[in-house]
Amino acid sequence: MRERTQIPGSSRPPYKGWLIFLVTIVAILLIILCILPLYPAGFSTYVFRPFQHLRNIIFNNIPFSLGDILYAAGGIAIVAIAIKWLYFLFWIKRYKEVLTISILRTLSAASVIYMVFLLGWGSNYYKPSLSESWGLADTSAQSDSAYYSFDTLLINRLNRYAAHYHPASFGETGTKAAQYYLRYSRHPEQIKGLKIKVSLFGEFLQYMGVQGYFNPFTGEAQGDSYLPEFMQPFVICHELAHQAGVAAEDDANLMAYAIGTQAADSSFNYSCYFNLWLYTHSRVRMIDSTVAKGLYRTLNPITVAHIDTLRALNKRYRSKLSHLSHGWYDKYLRMQHVKNGIESYDDVVGSAYMWERRRSVRKDSLIMIP
């Protein structure tokens, strides 16, 4: 059935209504973008958190990831629209007005989706970093010796906890992680309903180089159940940090590290020290490979075996798709004012080091989630 291009008896162009709607939505977006940097905490407290609490109530009762279905449907819709536009362009004389209306509809839908993204998640990127909120010292000029010291500390912790690590199922680890957030956060009423779900994309995530992700539209946190068990506690805590309103990737890493090492759970402790060591040792290796090799030789056999497991997985699933995925996400993060893009994950090294230094002097029993 062909779309109607003109309303009988009306002189108003059929696309005028959509144009007015689009201009209105864009104007509202511009107002939000002007106000947001001035009051990021207000948006988080009075917009994001109530909205996220509502989403937790609705979507936690659904056993599968609705967000994954929406992503798949969105991908299909984009392909269908592209094909339709190509057809209209081929017959441009006949479908000029229809194409104009379709473009305006699509831009209007995209603007509404972006508004939902901003109010339901994107506003969190404007909040101060965790280092600033927690009053940690500036880490921008960290010395090489500090990295060596932190690498040594993490290796000592790994050697202590490796023998006490016990693998658990994805579901059990997710349940424990949510409980630890409630137990060790300063304002647990603000983060009720945290829950990790298994991604419906399954093993495909391995080829994309993705361990977990947060859906900004449904507010669901998803994890890759194909990950080795020793990686899961840290990755799940990272995704739950996003669900709690921590946006920046290095901050989510820091929150996962703080929660996971605060918990009286040797498996969580080990996983968090292991993941932070991966980031830290990578930096040490870039500074001085000889020092890095010497530190590596002091690792216990269990951790060395876990490193070998990760290397084998990286080799097995290495693909162009993972490079494309990382490239796209790097651009996304830079659009959200994350200066270092995907490399910002590594920035947790400095903040975690300062967190450990402060904790050695004063151990906070509860962790603030701003």
Indicate the residue among 100, 125, 150 that finishes a domain. Answer: 125
331 assigned to some structural domain? yes
Indicate the residue among 125, 152, 184 that finishes a domain. Answer: 125
Cα-only R_g, the chain: 24
Note whether 286 and 171 are same-domain residues: yes
Note whether 87 and 50 are same-domain residues: yes
| Structural domain boundaries enclosing 169 | 130-361
79 assigned to some structural domain? yes
Is there a contact between 223 and 211 (Cβ–Cβ < 8 Å)?
Answer: yes
CA distance linking residue 90 with residue 285, whole number of Å: 56
Residue of 17, 12, 2 lying closest to 104 (CA atoms): 17
Note whether 290 and 160 are same-domain residues: yes
**Tell me: the pLDDT tens digits for 316-367?**
988 888 888 888 888 888 888 788 888 888 889 999 999 998 887 877 678 8
4 assigned to some structural domain? no
CA distance linking residue 137 with residue 15, whole number of Å: 56
Quote the tokens at residue 40.
Answer: 């990021």
- Is 5's pLDDT higher than 70? no
- Is 31's pLDDT higher than 60? yes
Note whether 268 and 309 are same-domain residues: yes
Note whether 274 and 355 are same-domain residues: yes
Note whether 173 and 281 are same-domain residues: yes
Note whether 349 and 335 are same-domain residues: yes
133 CB burial (10 A radius; 0-12, 13-18, 19+): middle
What pLDDT is recorded for position 13? 60
89 assigned to some structural domain? yes
Quote the tokens at residue 340.
Answer: 């270092």
What pLDDT is recorded for position 144? 86
47 assigned to some structural domain? yes
**Tell me: the pLDDT tens digits for 235-286?**
999 999 999 999 999 999 999 999 999 999 999 999 999 999 999 999 999 9
CA distance linking residue 236 with residue 223, whole number of Å: 7
Sign of CA dihedral 267, 271, 272, 276: positive
Note whether 105 and 75 are same-domain residues: yes
Q: What is the mean pLDDT of the chain?
A: 90
Residue of 298, 247, 246 lying closest to 277 (CA atoms): 298
1 assigned to some structural domain? no
Indicate the residue among 125, 144, 166 that finishes a domain. Answer: 125
Q: How many folded domains does the chain comprise? A: 2
Note whether 149 and 273 are same-domain residues: yes
Note whether 53 and 171 are same-domain residues: no
367 assigned to some structural domain? no
Note whether 162 and 27 are same-domain residues: no
2 assigned to some structural domain? no
Note whether 259 and 302 are same-domain residues: yes
What average pLDDT does the segment 115-125 reach? 92
